[in-house]
């Protein structure tokens, strides 16, 4: 049997898992700093929840993994963390609003595979439920930027408003029933060749010139304020989506990496107004590193009360962020072990020493194969373990162990307590 991975999934070796856990720890620190609390939901949900009218929409349902349990109930692997969160809020009406949460978890989409895009991937979500204020939208963008600063990644954030985009498309002559289809096609303007976008619009029976203004404005080198002014002139009015964007940019004053992109729509049907995506400023990774927006009808829609739970949130894409960090190169730890204990016919004593180190909070491992000192040192060196603790009969008779710093080769004869102090310094 030839062992192979399923398409679109990956194993994570220890160095990759350690790096990912470090990334998650940094993002968690930022989210908690902004007042978000953790929440966990199941990996799979009832299919009717994931496929609900107010959920992800037809495009994402094509990529959903569907299966049945032994009771023949139809289930689906979650394709994001937002719909399960909406289900949670709907099932817990006692929650005090506004309610802020974050979540880390695997999500699944049976879609095309490329660098930065997989079929099983991690997401980190942050959401605020219970307010229509653009202050919440601005906070989500600021949280995203704070997360990238913590990771040392320079990004650019593109922002739009679904209500405004709808007004622009209707002004261009797109029938109301075709607006969502046109939005999802326009969202590809900066991701695929323009001719492909036009062919898709034509295939959907959407007038070719209906989106010309949007496409042209998105391509022009203009500031956000200049683009907003052009939109106002084109529409001859200030619709609600326009006013929301103006208010949002007021709360983001001085944040230069955020810009208005009139073609941005995001691929999920549940967004109702603000939408945004973040991209690495200088990287071969072109996939978005974060994305989100406002979904005011999703939670209430599941309950038959569409306007009951206004909400806004976003996701960090853990996989593409990892790919960006990997592109930088640099050494990554292969292990979390800080001290490797090498017994020289002193197994029993070394078991006790290992436990003393662990009780002091030091990650410690020990040779269990009885290898020679040189082979043990080679082993520790191959994993990048920074220290070796060598304990022979001669050292123990003095009440000491030999602490070897692997990088420099420096050795010291220390008591176990002194070794602990050195390892924790």
Q: pLDDT digit string (tens) for 342-366?
A: 999 999 999 999 999 999 999 999 9
Strand partners, 403: 389, 412
Check whether residue 18 and residue 142 sit in a common domain. yes
Given 327, 353, 385, which residue is the final one in a domain? 327
Q: Token pair for residue 329?
A: 């190169």
> Looking at the predicted structure, is the pLDDT value of residue 150 above 80?
yes
Which residues, 6 or more positions from 105, have their beta carbon under 8 angstroms from its beta carbon? 40, 41, 43, 78, 81, 122, 123
- Within a domain: residue 8? no
> Looking at the predicted structure, is the pLDDT value of residue 114 above 80?
no
Check whether residue 272 and residue 401 sit in a common domain. no
Adjacency order of strands within the sheet including 364-366: 364-366, 339-344, 387-392, 401-405, 411-414
- Within a domain: residue 310? yes
Closest to 15 in 3D by CA, of 360, 384, 388: 384
> Looking at the predicted structure, is the pLDDT value of residue 422 above 80?
yes
> Looking at the predicted structure, is the pLDDT value of residue 55 above 80?
no
pLDDT, the chain, mean: 92
Check whether residue 306 and residue 381 sit in a common domain. no
The pLDDT, as a whole number, for residue 97 is 95
> Looking at the predicted structure, is the pLDDT value of residue 57 above 80?
no
Which residues, 6 or more positions from 297, have their beta carbon under 8 angstroms from its beta carbon? 54, 270, 272, 306, 307
Q: What's the angle, vertex CA 20, arms to CA 19 and CA 25, rounded to 5?
A: 100
CB atoms within 10 A of CB 348: 7
Lowest-confidence segment of 4-13, 97-106, 116-125, 389-398 by average pLDDT: 116-125
- Within a domain: residue 9? no
Check whether residue 316 and residue 355 sit in a common domain. no
pTM for the structure as a whole: 0.87
- Please count the CA atoms within 13 angstroms of the CA of 419 that sit on its side-chain side: 29
Could you list the residue range(s) of the whole structural domain that residue 359 is in? 339-424
The pLDDT, as a whole number, for residue 206 is 82
> Residue 170's Cα: distance from chain center in Å?
34
As a whole number of angstroms, the distance between CA 339 and CA 350 comes to 12
Strand 258-260 versus strand 155-161 pairing type: parallel
Q: What is the DSSP string of 256-273?
A: TTEEE-TT---S-TT--S
Label residue 128 by pLDDT band (50, 70, 90): very high
Q: Tell me what the mean pLDDT of segment 253-273 comes to.
A: 89
As a whole number of angstroms, the distance between CA 320 and CA 191 comes to 15
> Looking at the predicted structure, is the pLDDT value of residue 116 above 80?
no
Check whether residue 43 and residue 73 sit in a common domain. yes
- Within a domain: residue 6? no
Q: Is the dihedral of CA 49, 55, 58, 60 positive or negative?
A: negative
pLDDT > 90 fraction of the chain, expressed in percent and rounded: 70
Q: Token pair for residue 407?
A: 């990088």
* CATH, residue 262: 3.30.930.10
> Looking at the predicted structure, is the pLDDT value of residue 95 above 80?
yes
CB atoms within 10 A of CB 339: 25
> Looking at the predicted structure, is the pLDDT value of residue 217 above 90?
no
Given 301, 327, 353, which residue is the final one in a domain? 327
The pLDDT, as a whole number, for residue 287 is 84
Check whether residue 163 and residue 280 sit in a common domain. yes
As a whole number of angstroms, the distance between CA 344 and CA 390 comes to 7
Given 299, 327, 355, which residue is the final one in a domain? 327
Check whether residue 362 and residue 319 sit in a common domain. no
Q: Which of the 8 DSSP states describes residue 340?
A: E
The pLDDT, as a whole number, for residue 6 is 93
- Within a domain: residue 229? yes
Check whether residue 323 and residue 182 sit in a common domain. yes
First to last CA, the chain: 50
As a whole number of angstroms, the distance between CA 55 and CA 61 comes to 10
Check whether residue 347 and residue 294 sit in a common domain. no
> Looking at the predicted structure, is the pLDDT value of residue 231 above 80?
yes
Label residue 185 by pLDDT band (50, 70, 90): confident
The pLDDT, as a whole number, for residue 327 is 85
Q: Which residue has the higher pLDDT, 328 or 97?
A: 97
The pLDDT, as a whole number, for residue 363 is 97
Lowest-confidence segment of 207-216, 273-282, 309-318 by average pLDDT: 207-216
Number of folded domains that form the chain: 2
Check whether residue 316 and residue 376 sit in a common domain. no
- Within a domain: residue 112? yes
Q: Which residue has the higher pLDDT, 266 or 126?
A: 126
- Within a domain: residue 246? yes
The pLDDT, as a whole number, for residue 107 is 94
* CATH, residue 356: 3.40.50.800
Q: Is the dihedral of CA 358, 360, 363, 365 positive or negative?
A: negative
- Within a domain: residue 321? yes
Check whether residue 108 and residue 133 sit in a common domain. yes
Check whether residue 217 and residue 353 sit in a common domain. no
């Amino acid at each position: 049997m030839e062992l192979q991975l399923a398409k679109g999934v990956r194993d994570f070796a220890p160095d990759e898992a350690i790096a990912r856990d470090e990334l998650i720890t940094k993002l968690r620190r930022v989210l908690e700093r902004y007042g978000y609390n953790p929440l966990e939901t199941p990996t799979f949900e009832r299919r009717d929840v994931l496929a609900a009218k107010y959920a992800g929409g037809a495009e994402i349902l094509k990529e959903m993994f569907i299966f049945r349990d032994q009771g023949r109930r139809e289930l689906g692997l979650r394709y994001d963390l937002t719909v399960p969160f909406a289900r949670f809020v709907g099932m817990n009406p006692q929650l005090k609003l506004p309610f802020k949460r974050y979540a880390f978890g695997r999500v699944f989409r049976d879609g095309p595979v490329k660098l930065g895009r997989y079929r099983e991937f991690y997401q980190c979500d942050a959401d605020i439920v219970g307010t229509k204020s653009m202050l919440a939208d601005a906070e989500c963008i600021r949280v995203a930027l704070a997360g990238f600063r913590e990771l040392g990644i320079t990004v650019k954030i593109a922002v739009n408003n679904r209500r405004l985009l709808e007004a622009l498309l209707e002004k261009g002559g797109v029938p109301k029933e075709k607006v969502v289809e046109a939005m999802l096609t326009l969202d590809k303007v900066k991701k695929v060749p323009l001719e492909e976008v036009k062919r898709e619009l034509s295939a959907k029976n959407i007038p070719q010139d209906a989106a010309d203004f949007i496409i042209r404005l998105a391509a022009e080198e203009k500031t956000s304020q200049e683009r907003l002014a052009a939109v106002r002139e084109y529409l001859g009015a200030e619709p609600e989506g326009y006013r929301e964007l103006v208010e949002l940019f007021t709360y983001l004053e001085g944040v230069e990496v955020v810009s208005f992109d009139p073609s941005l729509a995001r691929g999920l049907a549940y967004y109702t107004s603000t939408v945004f995506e973040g991209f690495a400023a200088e990287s071969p990774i072109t996939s978005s590193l974060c994305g989100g927006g406002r979904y005011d009808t999703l939670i209430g829609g599941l309950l038959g009360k569409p306007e009951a739970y206004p909400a806004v949130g976003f996701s960090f894409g853990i996989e593409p962020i990892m790919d960006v960090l990997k592109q930088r190169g640099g050494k990554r730890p292969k292990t979390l072990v800080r001290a490797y204990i090498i017994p020289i016919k002193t197994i029993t004593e070394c078991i006790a020493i290992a436990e003393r180190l662990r009780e002091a909070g030091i990650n410690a491992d020990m040779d269990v194969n009885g290898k020679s000192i040189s082979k043990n040192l080679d082993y520790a060196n191959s994993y990048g373990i920074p220290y070796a603790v060598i304990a022979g009969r001669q050292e123990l008779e003095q009440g000491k162990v030999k602490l070897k710093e692997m990088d420099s080769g420096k050795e010291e004869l220390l008591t176990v307590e002194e070794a602990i102090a050195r390892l924790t310094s």
